[in-house]
Structure 1
């Protein structure tokens, strides 16, 4: 059950895989608070072990490589973050940063692991959710060498617009602020190459860009461009 005023969970997110009773019991284990944009929920390298359930808003998952922050993923309402630290007790493997206001429930490691031990079906669903993330990441890495940058970029923009896009007058506005550097890290390309690919997509009337804002104007056309690449 989604509480009054709380948006529906993102399709395929961890919480959608649970029953109403399981979801309510899990969320009751933690402390819920509102976090403003630009704050870190988790910080790479820290030794804390709590998990966080994203209930409203979006977060970016990043890692630092060679002194440069790299965007790994965007997590949505209903997603769980921090489970690796809870399971292993090791340092955080990524930083999680809020994109605008976020409502999150913090659950301590001991309570989370105890809950999973008495609800093996939830543990199995968590495995499903983590497997989906790995599949998405593996697919992106496979595309690095299989498809041109324009196709890789189009696919990522479609994924993000579908999961966290807002319908506007002429398309889907991606509500998460994304820099060209972040897009480049998502698709394994150079920033200047992403700039050219975005320019080509704009000229084709498929997207509109502003300062760190992207609107998908023609989702069907963008999908046709990316699907056609399957036959190249």
Structure 2
């Protein structure tokens, strides 16, 4: 890992939409110099729901799930965070407890940045503060889109939309198609789609029978991205956006 390079080894650039992708090279390098670099393994809790917001975390080269505890004891998957993203920044800014748990999905590197470093950095680099506001707004737009989807479409369409977006943003090409890029259990996929687990199981079966995707143990491969987009009823603009990954 080359800490202060403008891009990651094996990546053309920082992932689109991540905080690091929105920064100019010298601001990005300054941010990468903050905090302590820590290696993480699959299943490591990067942040825990309910704990004090004493610091935030930069995903230097990592993929993570954001989950919350529900009243019935289950965990709901809210979002995915990728290399170049910041997590825990809201609690660190307003001194509140964590509202979610962030868990590593694989081997990776993170930076643990304490408030005593973060606050002066934002003060001295207004560009970074503006980029943070933009990425936070994008997260709210994503959440709002999910709510609209929940109200407007049945579970099968919501599932197809989620899988198409995950494949575009996190997946990679394989001989049989394109991966989703993230290991998800059916309960996690159900909460991400806002549906009951049996409903998601049925929707996955329908997509398999249509030869749109194939599934294995905690693995989903998109075999026919245009077909998945048709199931998802994506607009032409969003079809073009996802087709770039195929």
Same-fold status (TM-score > 0.5): yes
Partner of 1:124: 130
Distance in 1 between the 2:137 and 2:234 partners?
A: 27
Which has more strand, going by share of residues?
1
Instruction: Spell out, residue by residue over 1:27-78, the C-alpha distance to the aligned partner (whole angstroms, 9 max, x if none).
Output: 1111112111110010000014211111212100000011211100010111
Instruction: Report SS of the residue matched to 1:13.
Output: coil
Q: Out of 215, 222, 240, which is 1:216 matched to?
A: 222
Instruction: Spell out, residue by residue over 1:162-202, the C-alpha distance to the aligned partner (whole angstroms, 9 max, x if none).
Output: 11112100211123110111111111110000000000000
Partner of 1:5: 9
Matched, 1:89 2:98: no
Name segments (4+ residues, structure 1) moved above 2 Å: 1-8, 227-230
Ranges in structure 2 where 5+ consecutive residues have no aligned partner: 237-246
Partner of 2:239: none
Alignment of 1:11-90 (within 5 A): 11-66=16-71, 67-90=73-96
Query: In the superposition, relative to structure 1, how do residues 228 and 23 fare at CA in structure 2: closer, same or farther (>3 Å)?
Result: closer
Matched, 1:227 2:229: no
Alignment of 1:130-141 (within 5 A): 130-141=136-147
Matched, 1:179 2:179: no
Matched, 1:154 2:152: no
Distance in 2 between the 1:21 and 1:222 partners?
A: 40
Distance in 2 between the 1:150 and 1:29 partners?
A: 43
Query: Normalising by the residue count of structure 1, what TM-score does the alignment of the two structures yield?
Result: 0.95
Partner of 1:163: 169
2:53/2:88 contact within 8 Å kept: no
TM-align CA RMSD: 1.6
Q: CA deviation at 1:9?
A: 1.8
Distance in 2 between the 1:127 and 1:14 partners?
A: 10
Instruction: Report SS of the residue matched to 1:12.
Output: coil
Ranges in structure 1 where 5+ consecutive residues have no aligned partner: none
